[in-house]
Amino acid sequence: MDIVYDVANKDDIDELVRLRIAYTREDLGSLSEDDERMMRLGLPDFFKLHLNQGTFSFVARADGHIVAQVILIAIFKPISPKIPSGLCGEVLSVYTEPEYRGKGICSQLMKNMIDAGRQLGMCRITLAATNDGYPVYKKAGFEDKVTKYKDMILYL
């Protein structure tokens, strides 16, 4: 099995949409027709606007299609002692098609993504790990986040 690793481009948008929907379906356990329609309509425009302009998709290709991806979002924050460059990354949509899992593809994508984050000057990269992904991320060098702060969210 020949796997080719690279960074997605505008020609890959249909595949990126397909994988993002597959990831979301697996992550949530299901996806309503309305939610899938919303994603199919909105994601192409998102990728056209942001791909390789602050949003980077590291992909693995086999047999002419993308079989795995890791999305890295660049986030600019005010400079502080823990963020000296002000540039951070957040990982989203780590997904490998089921038949390609357990072959080290995700580990290689994580390495490629981390190398790119360093080249971009990122100070840190964060992610939220599932139980399945946790060992892969630990192996890649991610650490458990210990903080005095409580994670919160406000949906608008």
**Contacts of 74 by beta carbon, 8 Å cutoff, 6+ apart:** 54, 55, 56, 87, 88, 89, 120, 122
Model pLDDT, residue 64: 87
The stretch 17-43 carries a mean pLDDT of 96
For residue 11, how many other CB atoms are within 10 A of its CB?
Answer: 7
* pLDDT tens track for 105-151: 999 999 999 999 999 999 999 999 999 899 999 999 999 999 999 98
The structural domains of the chain, ordered by start, are 4-139 (3.40.630.30)
Q: Give the distance, in angstroms, between the CA of residue 66 and the centroid of all CA atoms in the same chain.
A: 14
pLDDT reading at 1 higher than 80: no
Cα 9 to Cα 48: distance, rounded to the nearest angstrom? 9
* pLDDT tens track for 138-149: 999 999 999 999
Cα 39 to Cα 23: distance, rounded to the nearest angstrom? 12
Q: 123, exposed or middle or buried, with CB in 10 Å at 0-12, 13-18, 19+? A: middle
Tell me what the pLDDT averaged over the chain comes to.
96
Give helix 33-50 / helix 13-28 axis angle, nearest 10°.
140
Contact of 56 with 9, CB cutoff 8 Å: no
Model pLDDT, residue 36: 97
Cα 118 to Cα 136: distance, rounded to the nearest angstrom? 19
Place of tokens 């963020």: 83
Tell me the two tokens of residue 29.
Answer: 């356990």
Tell me the two tokens of residue 108.
Answer: 């290689």
